[in-house]
C-alpha cells in the first residue's frame, strides 16, 4: 500500500477575521475538519466537497461543507504541484444566507 502525500495547509490572513464571526465552541470542529478532509484528499470530490461552478471574488475553486446541518463552509484553492491547499475563506450558512466575516456573500 502506497502512502498518500500530504498537502500543506496554508491560511489566508483574512481567515482569522472570518473566524471572529463564528462562535469559539466550533473552532476545534473547524480545525479538525480542515485537517481530516483537506490534508490528504483535497482534490477528491465527495458529497460535501466539490469544485465551485463559478469563480469567487476571493479566488476559491473548491468548497467544503460540514458541521451541524452542514452550516460551515471552507472555500479553498489547490496547488497540486506545490502540494498546498490555500484556505481562503470560512463562512457560516443559515437558510439561504452565506455569511463570511459577518457579511452576506453570494456565490
pLDDT digits (tens, 9 = 90+) for 21-36: 999 999 999 999 999 9
Q: What angle do CA 26, 103, 39 make, to 5 degrees?
A: 45
What rounded mean pLDDT belongs to the chain? Answer: 93
In a domain, 80, yes or no: yes
How many domains, in total, are found in the chain? Answer: 1
The label of the residue with cell 482569522 reads: 16
pLDDT score at 22: 96
Q: Phi, psi at residue 26, to the nearest 5°?
A: -95, -5
Question: What pLDDT score does 73 carry?
Answer: 97
Q: What is the DSSP letter of 14?
A: H
- The confidence score (pLDDT) of residue 68 equals 93
Neighbours of 82 (CB within 10 A): 11
Has residue 3 been placed in a domain? no
Residue that the C-alpha cell 460535501 belongs to:
48
Quick one: average pLDDT of 40-63?
92
Residue-number span of the structural domain to which 40 is assigned: 8-105
CB 90 within 8 A of CB 18: yes
CB atoms within 10 A of CB 101: 17
- Asked whether the whole model's pTM tops 0.85, one would answer yes
Q: Tell me whether residue 55 is in a domain.
A: yes
Whether residue 36 lies inside any domain: the answer is yes
pLDDT over threshold 80, residue 59: yes
Any domain includes 2: no
Amino acid at each position: 500500500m502506497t502512502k498518500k502525500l500530504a498537502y500543506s495547509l496554508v491560511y489566508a490572513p483574512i481567515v482569522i477575521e472570518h473566524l471572529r464571526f463564528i462562535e469559539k465552541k466550533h473552532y476545534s470542529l473547524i480545525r479538525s475538519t480542515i485537517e481530516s478532509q483537506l490534508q490528504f484528499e483535497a482534490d477528491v470530490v465527495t458529497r460535501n466537497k466539490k469544485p465551485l461552478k463559478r469563480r469567487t471574488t476571493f479566488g476559491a475553486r473548491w468548497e467544503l461543507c460540514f458541521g451541524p446541518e452542514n452550516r460551515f463552509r471552507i472555500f479553498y484553492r489547490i496547488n497540486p504541484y506545490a502540494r498546498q491547499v490555500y484556505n481562503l475563506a470560512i463562512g457560516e450558512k443559515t437558510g439561504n444566507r452565506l455569511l463570511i466575516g459577518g457579511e452576506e456573500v453570494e456565490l
